[in-house]
Copies of this chain bind each other. A is one copy, B any other.
Amino acid sequence: MESEPTSSQAGTPYERTCTIRGDGGRAIRAVLDRVADKWTLLVVATLASGRMRFTELHRHVPGVSQRMLSLTLRNLERDGLATRTAYAEVPPRVEYDLTPMGRSLIAPALTLASWAIENNTDIEMSRAAYDARTP
């Protein structure tokens, strides 16, 4: 990782004003590296309604491939955000569920999602306008 030359600019007190990157952005990096891929938040959001098995998940998360779902779930399990329970039955049954930590991610994600919903139109329009005046 990178050492922090935060002292480069002693005169700027903005680190105190905005804790979002008080550590040089390491926190943001961490959370983004964790959840900013294409499927993680979607899977977490789907699991938010309760435990679910693989195929169910596959149906409920539109567009995800088996491969990506599999990878995403494994990472969630690895990070301690979801549990995987395999039942020794035939046919096999595997159920996924959020851990308390996984569930604690829902609220922050929801905040962001709400922001997205509220501002989506404005952003869309801003883009269109920008593209229109920029050939």
User: Chain A interface (Cβ within 8 Å of chain B)?
Assistant: 1-9, 12, 14, 17-21, 24-25, 27-32, 34, 36, 38, 41-42, 45-46, 48-53, 56, 59-63, 77-81, 87, 89, 95, 101, 104-117, 119-120, 122-123, 125-127, 130-131
Contacts and interface: CB of A to CB of B under 8 A. Distances in A.
B122 A101 contact: yes
A61 to B, nearest CB: 7
Given A4-B62, A59-B8, A115 B110 contact: no
Given A8-B56, A14-B48, 8 more contacts: A8-B51, A19-B114, A20-B109, A24-B62, A28-B41, A28-B116, A80-B127, A111-B111
B130 A28 contact: no
Given A36-B36, A108-B114, A21 B42 contact: yes
Contacts of A25: 42, 45, 61-62
Contact of A104 (B8, B24, B56, B119): B119
Nearest to A129: B80
Nearest to A130: B78
Given A56-B9, A123-B79, A130-B77, A113 B28 contact: yes
Contact of A20 (B56, B61, B106, B123): B106
Nearest to A81: B123
